[in-house]
Amino acid sequence: MASFNPVKIFAGSQSTYLAEKIAHYYGKDLGGYTLRRFSDGELSPSFEESVRGCDVFIIQSTFPPSDNLMELLLMVDAARRASAHYVTVVIPYFGYARQDRKDKPRVAIAAKVVANMLASVHADRLMTIDLHAGQIQGFFDFPVDHLEGTSVFVPYIRSLQLDNLVIASPDVGGAARARTFAKHFNAEIVLCDKHRKRANEIASMQVIGDVEGANVVLIDDLIDTGGTLCKAAQIIMEKGAKSVRAVCTHPVMSGKAHENIANSMLDELVVSDTIPMRETNPKIKVLSVAELFAKAIGRIRDHESISSLFIKY
């Protein structure tokens, strides 16, 4: 049975650009919200309209700096204290997801810390897309709606009508993601096996599989400095590929990422708008996930399944 509680959609200060599009597709205006700062930078968010008894959706990606995460937590707390009926946090880009396990001694599991913080302010639900690792959903003791970027990327790749298509993962850890993508095209996959000296620095890489004469599409959940993707693209072209492009949901784009992409062997990099693009780059195409999130919000509000939003293969 559909909910009769009014829906209100709010945007954190760093995700207004995306939230406006989501609200447009949903058919509502964004709710009134103000973020004030003390002189030392301390955040003070407030809702400028009543949320009492409402189903509240708060949209904010938690890319750096950590102020974005802190703002989101304070917004949830403010909604709770204002007697919101149900609070869903919509985090298109879930920051700190790369730290999802102890891969060496004496390190934090940051994704779990963020999950605990969201639970501490009594969020009721999380909606996100293409987590770095799907098992992060298990860090939460409340429902998680994990959307898939394939819903927007597969139709675009299909529109290119690439012959002899091969799907590639830039590292072995992304094999499952690449395999899922490849099933939509009944395509073969290849893997790039990399060895790192340290974070964001690759020591060596090799391609496992045949790419000669193929149009290759590299699949990853995010692009940070671009070092891995650009190295993979170079090696794939050296192995005789006809073309190589990349699909990455979250354009973190730190350091020299734009320069690396511009000077790479990639024909294009296809990303979503979960994180705003700070620079223009002729090789980068941005596809919006706003309509996908709007449809998911509608289904959650009406207590319907969101599985229909996933592309079947």
**252 vs 219: CA distance, rounded Å:** 15
Which one of the listed residues 8, 194, 231, 295 is annotated catalytic? 194
DSSP 311: P
**169 vs 217: CA distance, rounded Å:** 8
Of 92, 86, 80, whose CA–CA distance to 11 is shortest? 92
Q: How do residues 159-182 score in pLDDT, each as one tens digit?
A: 999 999 999 999 888 999 999 999
Q: How do residues 234-243 score in pLDDT, each as one tens digit?
A: 999 999 999 9
**252 vs 64: CA distance, rounded Å:** 9
Q: β-strands 55-59, 269-272: how paired?
A: unpaired
Residue 202: pLDDT over 60: no
Average pLDDT over residues 134-159: 96
28-40: b (≥16 Cβ within 10 Å) or e = bebbebeeeeeee
**78 vs 48: CA distance, rounded Å:** 11
Instruction: Say what the pLDDT of residue 201 is.
Output: 58
Q: How do residues 222-266 score in pLDDT, each as one tens digit?
A: 999 999 999 999 999 999 999 999 999 999 999 999 999 999 999
Residue-range domains of the chain with CATH:
7-148+290-309 (3.40.50.2020), 150-287 (3.40.50.2020)
Give first-to-last CA distance, the chain, whole Å. Answer: 30
**Catalytic residue flag (residue 194):** yes
pLDDT band at 116 (very low <50, low <70, confident <90, very high): very high
Write out the two tokens for 177: 């993601």
What H or E segment, with its residue span, contains residue 271? strand 269-272
**31 vs 9: CA distance, rounded Å:** 6
Is residue 60 within 8 Å of 91, Cβ to Cβ? yes
Residue 1: pLDDT over 50: no
Residue 2: pLDDT over 60: no
Instruction: Say what the pLDDT of residue 199 is.
Output: 58
CA atoms within 13 A on the CB side of 267: 15
Q: How do residues 56-82 score in pLDDT, each as one tens digit?
A: 999 999 998 899 999 999 999 999 999
Write out the two tokens for 47: 């809702």
